[in-house]
Amino acid sequence: MPALLLASSSPYRRQLLARLGLDFDCASPDIDESPLPDENAAALCLRLAENKARALAPAYPEHLIIGSDQVLLLDGEAVSKPDNHAAAVAQLQRCSGQRIRFSTALCLLNSRTGKMQTAIEPFDVVFRTLDDATIERYLQAEKPYDCAGSFKSEGLGISLFEALHGNDPNSLIGLPLIRLCTMLRNEGVQLP
Separation between Cα atoms, residue 4 and residue 39, nearest integer Å: 30
Report the first-to-last Cα separation within the chain, whole angstroms.
15
Cβ(52)–Cβ(31) below 8 Å: yes
Which run of H or E residues covers position 75?
none
What radius of gyration, in Å, describes the C-alpha atoms of the chain? 17
Separation between Cα atoms, residue 185 and residue 26, nearest integer Å: 20
Separation between Cα atoms, residue 104 and residue 192, nearest integer Å: 24
Cβ(99)–Cβ(75) below 8 Å: no
Catalytic amino acids?
69
